[in-house]
Chains A and B, each alone.
Chain A
């Protein structure tokens, strides 16, 4: 079974600065998808960014970008020009693209709480 590990329970950043959240995963599959979700205090789960494993190019969405290292099984999230509204819990997640018992299921990491200081 796949596992996803977020080794930073908490991170903090100054407003307008850049922060990187770490995520590693363990899989024997070659085809899969990776996601970052944001969960603000409202409890809503919001998709931040998505990466396809077969694409070498790192995904970007405005101030959010990823550093996807397939060989190292690493998928970090970089937030540039941090804003107060970025404060939230961030979850890394893995989804298999291969048929089998794991197909279609999303496996989450433990989460990282991000605090943004004004």
Chain B
């Protein structure tokens, strides 16, 4: 039972390069999320998808785009990476209501 799978685990980019973080879940959840984690700031929501075909901005969406490809997959794209986007990125999924979020293992991204 894989749960939430994120790729890659680590990535180093130069300023201005682009990349896509991939996320897939096998729990048939409707909702999917992208968070970033920075020291002293907890996890902050970048984008959110309540269901297939819908996406919504979170707290820190600038510099990112997302695609909810189907119910299973939710990708995060950095079009022109900046050093301020150096962070650990988490994908998560859940059902609505009181269900907890299930997280992937994170991607450590460094932008030089």
| Chain A residues within CB distance 8 Å of chain B | 4, 6, 9, 33, 35, 42-45, 47, 50, 52, 91, 95, 97, 101, 103-111
Contacts and interface: CB of A to CB of B under 8 A. Distances in A.
Contact of A45 (B41, B50, B103): B103
Nearest to B50: A104
- Interface of B, secondary structure class, is strand
Given A35-B100, A43-B106, A110-B40, 8 more contacts: A44-B105, A104-B31, A104-B48, A105-B45, A106-B33, A108-B42, A108-B44, A109-B42
Contacts of A43: 88, 105-106, 108
Contacts of A44: 103, 105-106
Interface residues of B, number: 26
B43 A108 contact: yes
A49 B33 CA distance: 20
Interface of B: 31, 33, 35, 40-45, 48, 50, 56, 58, 88, 90, 92, 94, 96-98, 100-101, 103, 105-106, 108
